[in-house]
Amino acid sequence: MFEELSTRLESVINKFRGQSKITEENISEAMREVKRALLEADVNFKVVKEFTKSVQEKALGEDVLSSVTPGQFFIKIVHDELVKLMGGAQRKVEFEINRTNVILMAGLQGSGKTTATSKLALHYRKKGHRPLMVACDVHRPAAIDQLESLGKSLDIPVFSERGKGAVEIAKNGLVYAKREGYSLVIFDTAGRLHIDEEMMAELRDVYSAVNPDEVFFVADAMTGQEAVNVAAEFTKQVNCTGVILSKLDGDARGGAALSINKVLGVPLCFVGVGEKPDALEPFYPDRYASRILGMGDVVSLVEKAQQIVDVEESKKLEKKLRNNQFSLQDFLDQLRQIQKMGSLKDLMSMIPGIGNKLAGVDLDTNQLKYIEAIICSMTMEEREKPQILNGSRRKRIANGSGRTVADVNRLLKQFEDMRNMMKQINKMSGKKGGMKGMHGMKGKMPF
């Protein structure tokens, strides 16, 4: 699942990669395509509208950091908005072990309630709980057998009473669980093809009888937006605390996973990814966002850059570049920032499309150290005004840094070339351009 959406989003992003800056026009065009991709993935249209608006505002409203490209920045924004859309932080559902916790399952017929009941029981048993499953589906003849057989195969006890009503079984099941000291009781309930009043009344009665800590609404991901609409109706009737989206392993387009939190205001807590009892995963919005975007570690790359790069400092630097006051000291500061981001190779390998091409290539990170050593052997005045570096000063610097005079000359020449190029870029792009021009310069930097 998500493949189709991933492919579409990747193609939008790849197109965006080539842009030298984010403008109203190119972002609008990209957002039109993102919108189309999300709608085709069956994401709720209102959600799509809000999402694209929000991405657009962020992209235009924030300064692009000098150390990342507009394309990478765009990926990060889309990623962050996807995470937000899916509920932000993961909602971890945990229960105390020394009391009887209660879970009530709800959902339409065939959505996966009974399967999810056994999956949850197994999940929490692995965390040290003593679970009990209670069979409250008295409407479908084989429902009790189904739960009992699941219980038997997992060695998890099932409470059932044939011939009684759902509410009575629920009450008795809870009394039994408390008496026997179970730490988690999960009530499986009946499903219906449609929401009908009788079924809702029964669910509400079971709800009152057991007073659950969590009510999980189980939705079938394959039914897409329909699942979201039904869920909305359910949450009006009983206080659902979490959603379990089942059958995400099928060929669902993913729209439900993306919309459900926003539409319901109820977090998606687990996803079912197979028929087997261990095919349950806690839902992590950030992991799903990364999976959908398929953008490797670009996001963490940008995060790293954001942590390191001080926006104020960047602005100062941009001004210096514009006024052609960029000194060797500034250059050294930039170099150190890049080094703080990790090894150059690690950094580059995070960029999709480059990582695999780097195999076997040995980036000479020593070059960075040599440059640092040379600049560090200069006085502050020399760093600010490299033009005063005459022959004897160059010799002193070479000795001090353990390099040759030729190395010092090469660095100064490259630095001068770079400054000249900055001058040209500034001339060409008028007032703007400063730091943005840095991207295009990368290949010309002395490392």
Ligand X SMILES: Nc1nc2c(ncn2[C@@H]2O[C@H](COP(=O)(O)OP(=O)(O)OP(=O)(O)O)[C@@H](O)[C@H]2O)c(=O)[nH]1
Q: How far is the CB of 187 from ligand X (least distance, A)?
A: 12
Residue 22's contacts (CB-CB under 8 Å, 6 or more residues apart) are: 59, 60, 64, 70, 73, 74
Nearer to ligand X, 120 or 347 (CB): 120
Closest CB to Mg ion belongs to which residue?
A: 114
Using CB distances below 5 to 8 A depending on partner kind, what does residue 107 bind out of ligand X, Mg ion, none?
A: ligand X
Nearer to ligand X, 109 or 306 (CB): 109
Strands (E), 82-183: 101-106, 131-135, 158-159
- Helix crossing, 3-17 with 285-293: angle to 10°? 70
Nearer to ligand X, 118 or 235 (CB): 118
| Three-state DSSP state, 345 | helix
Strand partners, 214: 103
Stretch that binds Mg ion, among 22-30, 113-121, 385-393, 415-423 (CB under 5 A): 113-121
Q: How far is the CB of 250 from ligand X (least distance, A)?
A: 6
Task: Compute how many other C-beta atoms are within 10 angstroms of the C-beta atom of residue 248.
Answer: 24
Q: Provide the mask over 65-104, with x wherever binding to Mg ion is found by CB under 5 A and - wherever it is not.
A: ----------------------------------------
Nearer to Mg ion, 279 or 341 (CB): 279
Nearer to ligand X, 67 or 115 (CB): 115
Q: How far is the CB of 184 from Mg ion (least distance, A)?
A: 19
Q: How far is the CB of 292 from ligand X (least distance, A)?
A: 19
Nearer to ligand X, 73 or 216 (CB): 216
- Rule CB under 6 A: which residues touch ligand X? 107, 109-115, 137, 140, 143, 191, 246-247, 249-250, 272-275, 279
Stretch that binds Mg ion, among 16-24, 38-46, 107-115, 274-282 (CB under 5 A): 107-115
**Among 296, 220, 217, 221, CA closest to 41:** 221
Using CB distances below 5 to 8 A depending on partner kind, what does residue 67 bind out of Mg ion, ligand X, none?
A: none
Sign of the CA dihedral running 126, 132, 137, 138: positive
CA distance 77 to 249: 27
| Three-state DSSP state, 183 | coil
114 binds Mg ion (CB under 5 A): yes
Tell the residue number behind the tokens 């975007």, with chain if given: 293
Residue 323's contacts (CB-CB under 8 Å, 6 or more residues apart) are: none
Nearer to ligand X, 135 or 301 (CB): 135
- Lay out the sheet containing 131-135: strands in order across: 158-159, 131-135, 184-188, 101-106, 214-220, 242-246, 268-272, 280-282
Q: How far is the CB of 116 from ligand X (least distance, A)?
A: 6
Site residues for Mg ion per CB under 5 A: 113-114
